[in-house]
Amino acid sequence: MLVVTGILASAGTAPGTSHRYLSALPGSGVAYGATAHGDPSFFPIGVWFEGNPDWGGYPGDPAGARRYYDRCFADLAAHGFNAAAVPNCPESLWETLLQSARAHRIKIVLEIAPLVRLVSQSEPLSESEAYAAVKRVVAKIGRYDSLLRYQIRDEPPPETMPNWLLVRRVLAAVDPTRPAFSCFNNPDSLARAVEADHLSEAVFDIYPQGVGTPSQSLGGFLPALDAFTSAAKGIPAWAVLQSFAKPGAWRYPSPEELRAVTYLSLAAGGKGIFYFLYQTMPNHPERLEGLIDRDGRPTQMYAPAAALAREMGKLSPLLTSFKPTAPPSQVVGDARVGSFVDAGGHAVLVVASTRPDAPVTARVSVDATAAWKDRLTGEVLVPTNGALMVPLAPGAGRVLVRR
């Protein structure tokens, strides 16, 4: 469990450190304290993508890597994805990867190894050191419109948080259009980060399908989702969901399980969805099996993940625009309901099944007699006696807009 203690009780510096979080770096012209914000109209529909070509059995020179990236990003775009989070890309290939992503209209969250090292070092990081490193990174790749976020540390542990906060704030000052990015694997750690700084989004991963998880079930997904949602305190959430297997540890989710966790994340107000993992890599240090096999052929997970990606692509203008409202007074059935209002003032319900093993009907109380239209299918549902009856296939979700 990651527990963060003693992080910045105020805007000042912790005793004994060299951090001056809301100061200006002498000679830099950079004032700290601002928070970087991305484009709120962009709904990332992405995958985790290992950036080291050698792990996929491809050459690591720029020409060989470009062929590899082009093949993968063209494939992702053709299947409805618009984003990829990329760890382990050698710095020598950053620009090759971003150029390929730009050609295929894929937005990249790129892990920046020099910044990861600074965040992870045991000694306190100085502002001048952070600024010099950030300035070099932004000068090198900040011009690429395919760059969505700078990943500065995956799953940051508590002892890294002072350095993590400093790098975040320097990046926000140097490149305010692209926030720093980290994915959290523990709600307590996320909550502490939210308390210490205003995050542009709360990113978290939930992998509930262990080898011992019964088939057609959600394992511990719902309590984990609730814990992360609570920790985010209303900050837009990006959920990283399991689409991988690892022999002896995790099994592939079923199509119904994958659909259920996706729509349950949307019902919780999710503003972005990533699936972990895209590749199965013959040379990777872990035996992870993803959406494609080691020869680049689709595994059993690719078709259901791509179907969900295409659905979210159709829904994304609505998903990015709506704001949460008070939930329905009553929901009966094995389902959860998120209640929202879109930019035009229309009420929106995201109804998600919690049963990947069976069809269910959710009875949702509504306060008006107006009909509701399924945003994807066009089906119109009319309330009866103050309730909307919403049939759901196993693991299914529906997005309904009041007419």
The reply to whether 354 and 260 lie within a common domain is no
Print the domain residue range for 165: 24-321
Token digits of residue 139: 């000068």
In three-state secondary structure terms, 17 is coil
CATH of the domain at 110: 3.20.20.80
Would the pTM of this model clear 0.75, i.e. be above it?
Answer: yes
Tell me the DSSP string of 391-402.
EE-TT-EEEEEE
Tell me the DSSP string of 334-393.
SEEEEEEE-TTS-EEEEEEES-TTS-EEEEEE-SS---EEETTT--EE--BTTEEEEEE-
Distance (Å, rounded) from C-alpha 373 to C-alpha 379?
6
The reply to whether 96 and 121 lie within a common domain is yes
Strand blocks (E) in 53-116: 83-86, 107-111
Q: Is residue 123 part of a domain?
A: yes
List C-alpha distances in Å: 103 to 3, 61, 186, 271, 396.
41, 19, 35, 25, 34
Q: How much is the pLDDT for 347?
A: 95
| Average pLDDT of adjacent 10-residue blocks, the chain of 403 residues | 26 31 39 56 96 89 96 98 97 98 98 97 96 98 98 91 94 95 94 90 97 97 98 96 96 98 97 96 86 94 98 97 88 95 95 98 92 98 95 98 94
The reply to whether 307 and 329 lie within a common domain is no
Token digits of residue 395: 């693991």
Please name the residue that has the structure tokens 């063209």: 74
Q: Is residue 5 part of a domain?
A: no
Sign of the dihedral through C-alpha 71, 72, 73, 79: positive
Angle of the 187-196 helix axis to the 161-174 helix axis, nearest 10: 50
Q: Is residue 10 part of a domain?
A: no
Which of residues 257, 288, 321 is at a domain's end?
Answer: 321
Based on the structure, what is the number of domains in the chain? 2
The reply to whether 37 and 108 lie within a common domain is yes
Q: Which residues contact 230 (CB under 8 A, 6 or more apart)?
A: 187, 191
Q: Is residue 19 part of a domain?
A: no
Tell me the DSSP string of 98-122.
HHHHHHTT-EEEEE-HHHHHHHH-S
List C-alpha distances in Å: 285 to 116, 173, 246, 282.
20, 36, 12, 9
Please name the residue that has the structure tokens 């945003």: 375
Residue-wise pLDDT for 114-150, tens only, equals 999 999 999 999 999 999 999 999 999 999 999 999 9
Q: How much is the pLDDT for 21?
A: 30
Q: Is residue 213 part of a domain?
A: yes
List C-alpha distances in Å: 255 to 196, 278, 303, 305, 386.
38, 16, 9, 8, 33
The reply to whether 81 and 171 lie within a common domain is yes
Distance (Å, rounded) from C-alpha 355 to C-alpha 334?
6
- Calculate ∠ Cα 261-263-268, nearest 5°: 95
The reply to whether 48 and 64 lie within a common domain is yes
Q: How much is the pLDDT for 6?
A: 25
